[in-house]
Chains A and B, each alone.
Chain A
Amino acid sequence: MNSSAPGLLSTVNITKMARSAPISRNVGRLSRSQVAAKRGLFKGKKTAKVSPKAEVATTVEKQIGGKANGEKRVIPTQKASKFYPTEDVRVPKVSRKQAGKTKLRASITPGTVLILLAGRFAGRRVVFLKQLDSGLLLVTGPFKLNGVPLRRVSQAYVIATSTKVEIADVKVPETVNDAYFVKSKAAKATKEGEFFGEGAEKKTFPEEKKSEQKAVDAPVLAAVKKVDNLSKYLKASWGLSKGDRFHELKF
């Protein structure tokens, strides 16, 4: 048994389970939400500063007297425990499973016209560009046609049509990745300030995103123009009407 195990367990008890003393191993007395309520993080952000961890040397070199003792010796800073625990405490196995990248439906390939089924742009027909690292689909309206910007969607909320736009030569810039879609958090205005209309700075859409949108859309638009009615098709939104039997429709 590893001698560090009992020490590790005790730290867990102190830091994590103080409010929820374990009933049995790995089972706390309180539920996750009860613990959250007790910790009271909702009351406000914790202001305590996290001090940078200083690296602690695990060994120290010491001068040793006596000629036959080699003068110097490397000694661990923390003494190893003298005792072994009487009972073996099992440490849970660390799971090394990792979620793989989402597998796309075979019908979704770059250039496929998709019909969005959920969200703000539900019913819009958009062009699929590529799959992002997160597994989500990167789509664009193009913006000029139907107002749908570069956007991430899950393939579960999409109908793949058999219509394809020829975009083999379209290169999506590296900057358009998952990080591109993360919203920047603006400083929250205080209530008083809000009342007096302070800090009500109007959010402007960043210029570089505008230009990126244009750069991506330009070749897509050119490809769309080559096919009759295709731009009209992308402009129009999709919906079910009377007499449409969804299970018999082909897309």
Chain B
Amino acid sequence: MPGVSTQPSIQKQEVVAMSQQPSTFKRFVEVGRVVLVNDGPSAGKLAVIVEIIDHNRALIEGPATSVPRQAFPYRHLILTPYTLAKLPRAAGSGAVKKAFEKSGVSEKWEASAWAKKLAARQVRKNSTDFDRFQVMVAKKQRRDVVRKAHFKERKASA
């Protein structure tokens, strides 16, 4: 192929330059990546990628969060920013559990705004009629306080 062979050096340079650029992605599908299960009976629980099966599925397990070891499609997993560093490929349940507990991921997760938002959503979903009524009353009271303070401030500044 004469056309290609004429400028091999330029092409090579471009490839090198692209690989040196920092990736915009921060969370990768990798062994040891902590994921949030988003479907099925374990929905809402954290698990760890133990092995990558193919470009659709990974083997996941959450021994500390009672997610059984299973193949799971990526489209039903959400990557979290946490990883278990140096988790070997295809580690057994015991090793995964140890690594998970040592990393303190579940504490970090619980403290994250993301987890809090999910929990709040759950609370709202399970609220009873009386709970919703009480929220309504509390919101009214808050509005009243804000409104009064606002007009007081406006009057003082005018």
Contacts and interface: CB of A to CB of B under 8 A. Distances in A.
B24 to A, nearest CB: 36
B128 interface: yes
B129 A115 contact: yes
Interface stretch (B68-76, B77-85, B130-138): B130-138
A144 B70 CA distance: 60
B127 A236 contact: no
Interface residues of A, number: 15
A64 B127 CA distance: 90
The DSSP consensus for interface residues of chain A is: mixed
Contacts of A229: 130, 133-134, 137
A163 interface: yes
Nearest to A162: B128
A250 B128 contact: yes
Nearest to B130: A163
A137 interface: no
Nearest to A229: B134
30 contacts: A113-B129, A113-B130, A115-B129, A161-B128, A161-B129, A161-B130, A162-B128, A162-B129, A162-B130, A163-B128, A163-B130, A229-B130, A229-B133, A229-B134, A229-B137, A230-B130, A232-B137, A233-B130, A233-B133, A236-B133, A238-B129, A248-B125, A249-B129, A250-B125, A250-B126, A250-B127, A250-B128, A250-B129, A251-B128, A251-B129
Of all A-B residue pairs in the complex, the 8 with the closest CB atoms, nearest first, are A163-B130, A251-B129, A161-B129, A162-B128, A233-B133, A229-B134, A233-B130, A250-B128
Interface of B: 125-130, 133-134, 137
Interface of A: 113, 115, 161-163, 229-230, 232-233, 236, 238, 248-251
